Amino acid sequence: MSSNPPSNESKTQEYEFEQMNLQVGSRIQFITHRTIKPVQHFSTLIGWVKDEYMIVKVPFESGAPIAVNDGDKLTIRVFSGVNVCSFSCVVLRVFPRPMFYVHLSFPVSIQGTSLRTAMRVKVDIPAQVTSSAGTTSVFLVNLSVSGALIESPKPLTDDGGEVGLSFYLIAQPGNRQVRINPNATIRNINVVKPSNAEQEEVFTYGVQFVDLDPMHHTMLQNLTYEALIADRQKIV
């Protein structure tokens, strides 16, 4: 798993806690240092008490919680959709079965890099667009915390402006389907002419989310972050 920063990151700088834009449910990277080579896991933020401690779920591997002990030193890495930040902390207390969460020391020094734009992830997600022309079945071909690129077999609207968007993402734990249904403003429109004369032309729409629910924003953060960490080829 590569830990090299993407080419569109700026240099490392100090960040304040609030600049990480953390939300309850945010996906974080939980890095242990028990061996010579750090071991990376994914976890979920449960909450925090400012300047005292953070609460995170114990990561699971192969269906079982990883070994975590009081006093263990960790590195936590988080992604806000615009910033990638990391900080060192110590395990203050482990709450084992049936809770499986830990109290971590509150970050003192946070190092981060700011991305020039909200990173986009390649996807292939069926969606519905509702506009003045009616409802159209489309596909999302990339997603970010701020918007999406839509492919449609026909024009979505005659006047641009704002449309309604509806699609589903998978939420953890439990692989639950969650409906995401923001309004979105059309920012650009293109028509892709097929190389094969028998194929239909495709209309593409770049849209910006207008009123994204905070929980849905967190889900998009998690989707982008996991692609950033685990599968860079999905980053547009």
Q: What is the pLDDT of residues 44-69, one digit of tens each?
A: 999 999 999 999 999 999 889 999 99
Residue pLDDT, tens place only, 189-220: 998 877 776 778 899 999 999 989 988 988 89
Domain with CATH 2.40.10.220 in the chain: 121-234
- pLDDT value at position 6? 44
What pLDDT, on the 0 to 100 scale, is given for residue 108?
Answer: 95
Q: Where do the CATH 2.30.110.10 domains begin and end in the chain?
A: 13-114
Plot region of 196 (φ>0 → left; ψ -120 to 50 → alpha; else → beta): beta
Instruction: Decide which of 2.30.110.10, 3.30.70.890, 1.10.3720.10, 3.40.50.300 is the CATH code for 13-114.
Output: 2.30.110.10
pLDDT of residue 218: 86
For the chain, what percentages of helix, strand and coil (3-state, to nearest 5) are there? 10, 50, 40
pLDDT (0 to 100) of residue 10 = 53
Assign residue 87 a region: left if phi > 0, alpha if psi is -120 to 50, beta otherwise?
beta
Q: What is the pLDDT of residues 129-176, one digit of tens each?
A: 998 878 999 999 999 999 999 999 988 886 678 999 999 998 876 778
Assigned architecture for domain 121-234: Beta Barrel (2.40)
pLDDT > 60? residue 15 = yes
The phi and psi torsions of 189 (rounded to 5 degrees) equal -135, 135
